[in-house]
Amino acid sequence: MSSFEDADTEETVTSLRVTVYHPGQTQSGIFQSIRFSNPEKLPSSEVVKFGRNSTVCRYTFQDKQVSRVQFSLQLFKKFDSSVLSLEIKNMSRRTGLLVGGTELGYLNKVELPYRCVVRFGEYQLLVEKQDGESLEFFETLFTMSPRPLLQEHGWPAGKPTPELCRPPPWSAQTTCLSACPTEMDENEC
């Protein structure tokens, strides 16, 4: 059984792979509460919160610069679709959330494409979605990138970055986005 299959129903599940990067990640321990390379099965109804507060957030960043809840991800089902879609909402009143090239203010939300870089402060997260059959569960899988997901001089904040928000080349896994870190494992992009 692959890690993207529900053990009970044998249905494939929607998978969210999240690759994170922060320039201080090795010294500061900001990601120490995230269990990397550990697939986690969650109910599709869950609003998954990311932020500083471990009581309300599923995934916490141990960093005082981060808002109590920075952003949330949630799945929903479009009327004309058999698979789950993914939405991101900025939950921080003080920090903008860059989703691809679009800046979200407080309580703004957008649907995430299959592959997209999300940024706030010095944080960079590459969120990749793979469709599954199950409507009950989905799975998250976190990886830490040793290098920035975006070249420092490549994509000025606030400018459109369409290359970072296109459907994933699942059928051609060797095709790599220009924003992918060049020294990541081959399986990552």
Token duo for residue 127: 């969120």
Q: Which is nearer to a second copy, 42 or 144 (CB)?
A: 42
Count of C-beta atoms within a 10 Å radius of residue 22: 21
Per CB under 8 A, 160 contacts a second copy: no
E strands in the chain: 14-21, 40-43, 48-51, 59-60, 71-77, 84-90, 97-99, 102-104, 109-111, 115-120, 123-130, 137-144
Cβ partners under 8 Å of residue 154, min gap 6: 178, 179
Count of residues of this chain found to bind a second copy when the rule CB under 8 A is applied: 20
Per CB under 8 A, 83 contacts a second copy: no
Output the smallest distance, CB 82 to a second copy, in A: 11
Per CB under 8 A, 159 contacts a second copy: no
Cβ(8)–Cβ(38) under 8 Å? no
Per CB under 8 A, 89 contacts a second copy: yes
Per CB under 8 A, 129 contacts a second copy: no
Tell how far CA 63 is from the center of its chain: 18
Could you tell me which stretch among 57-65, 69-77, 117-125, 180-188 binds a second copy (CB under 8 A)?
69-77
Output the smallest distance, CB 77 to a second copy, in A: 4
Choice from 136, 144, 177, 188 touching a second copy (CB under 8 A): 136
Q: Which residues bind a second copy (CB under 8 A)?
A: 44-45, 47, 69, 75-79, 84, 89, 91, 93, 105-109, 135-136
